[in-house]
């Protein structure tokens, strides 16, 4: 039976996250997985389970989420994305579809993934773009020093115990993770983008990293303090958990399955 690999984008504003949620005795919550499964089932005319690579939280967006399902269908693979998109709401889109190996698992086969956090800062009074970007960009009137933030971000690269950068209820056996890249750039005055790539992330880890770097940018946390927080594993030593709307899943990579960066 054919297995299909999808690259999915979504505006997470009106979703309760990626993962399907069916509370006992109550209506199902609106989730990306639930909406996508319904659209795929209608397209292929049979019930399916759509697995996703990353369980993004409520309000978090996705640009390069990877999902997979198995089904017999007469829809040619080159028309699969169109067929599913015709049945999806306006805030979800399948960017691409391809046939994958029958054993493809979007979670366990993942070798790396990247999240981006977008910030507007300083004097925002004349930035009309924020009117249209407010669902995707977190804003603060405090000016941020992106050079200091970049220096602190570099400390996080490598394999570390990230207990200080995870919520207490992370639910994982180990808090050791590998960060392959953590960059802070200012693409234009008053804007900062944080990108974090790694082999996996703990609950709220990227949003806590972003909150810590914001505190560094404001001068409330020293750059060297970030190294101390890693060593002590003390959550109280790091910054706040940032709001979800500034965060989006950029890409997920799979080694030989990766065809190009746009689909990653």
Residue 260 has pLDDT above 50, yes or no: no
Query: How far is C-alpha 168 from the geometric centre of its chain's CA atoms?
Result: 20
Averaged pLDDT for residues 108-121: 97
Confirm whether pTM is higher than 0.75: yes
Residue 64 has pLDDT above 70, yes or no: yes
Taking every pair of C-alpha atoms in the chain, what is the biggest distance, in angstroms?
A: 59
Q: What is the per-residue pLDDT across 248-259, written as a single tens digit (0 to 9) for each?
A: 999 999 984 443
Would you give the DSSP letter of residue 258? -
| Residue 115 CB contacts under 8 Å (≥ 6 apart), including other chains | 195, 196, 197, 201, 206, 247, 248, 249, 250
The per-residue pLDDT for 172 is: 73
**The pLDDT value given to residue 259:** 38
Residue ranges of the domains in the chain? 3-109, 112-250
Asked whether the CA dihedral 18, 24, 28, 34 is positive or negative, the reply is positive
- 182 vs 260: CA distance, rounded Å: 21
How high is the pLDDT of residue 125?
72
Q: What is the pLDDT of residues 191-200, one digit of tens each?
A: 999 999 999 9
Q: Hey, what CATH topology would domain 112-250 get?
A: Alpha-Beta Plaits (3.30.70)
Q: Do domains 3-109 and 112-250 have the same CATH topology?
A: yes
Instruction: State residue 141's pLDDT score.
Output: 92
Q: Which residues contact 224 (CB under 8 A, 6 or more apart)?
A: none
What pLDDT is stored for residue 257 in this prediction? 40
How do residues 33-63 score in pLDDT, each as one tens digit?
Answer: 999 999 999 999 999 999 999 999 999 999 9
Our answer to whether residue 57 is catalytic in this structure is yes
pLDDT tens digit sequence for 125-145: 777 778 889 999 999 999 999
Percent of the chain with pLDDT over 90: 88
Average pLDDT over residues 92-114: 97
Burial of 180 (C-beta count, 10 Å sphere; 0-12/13-18/19+): middle
CA dihedral 14, 17, 20, 23 (to 10 degrees): -80
Residue with the two structure tokens 């900062």: 192
**Mean confidence (pLDDT) of the chain:** 93
| Active-site choice (11, 22, 57, 123) | 57
CATH fold of the domain at 3-109: Alpha-Beta Plaits (3.30.70)
Query: CA 231, 54, 91 angle in degrees (round to 5)?
Result: 130
> Is residue 8 a contact partner of residue 94, using CB atoms and an 8 Å limit?
yes
pLDDT band at 123 (very low <50, low <70, confident <90, very high): confident
């Amino acid at each position: 039976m054919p297995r299909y690999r999808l690259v999915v984008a979504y505006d997470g504003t009106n979703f309760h996250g990626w993962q399907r949620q069916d509370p006992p005795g109550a209506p199902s919550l609106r989730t990306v997985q639930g909406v996508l499964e319904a659209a795929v089932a209608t397209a292929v005319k049979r019930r399916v389970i759509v697995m996703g690579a990353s369980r993004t939280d409520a309000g978090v967006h996705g640009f390069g989420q990877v999902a997979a399902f198995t089904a017999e269908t007469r829809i040619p693979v080159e028309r699969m994305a169109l067929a599913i998109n015709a049945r999806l709401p306006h805030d979800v889109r399948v960017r691409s579809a391809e046939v994958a190996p029958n054993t493809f698992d979007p979670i366990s086969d993942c070798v790396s993934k990247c999240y981006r956090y977008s910030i507007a800062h300083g004097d925002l009074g004349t930035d009309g773009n924020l009117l249209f970007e407010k669902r995707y960009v977190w804003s603060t009137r405090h000016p941020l020093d992106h050079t200091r933030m970049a220096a602190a971000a570099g400390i996080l690269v490598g394999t570390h115990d990230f207990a200080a950068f995870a919520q207490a209820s992370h639910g994982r056996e180990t808090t050791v993770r590998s960060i392959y890249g953590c960059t802070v750039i200012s693409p234009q005055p008053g804007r900062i983008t944080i990108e974090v790539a790694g082999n996996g992330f703990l609950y709220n880890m990227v949003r806590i990293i972003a909150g810590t770097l914001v505190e560094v940018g404001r001068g409330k946390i020293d750059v060297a303090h970030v190294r101390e927080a890693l060593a002590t594993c003390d959550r109280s030593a790091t910054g706040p958990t940032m709001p979800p709307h500034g965060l989006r899943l950029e890409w997920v990579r799979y080694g030989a399955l990766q065809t190009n960066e746009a689909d990653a």
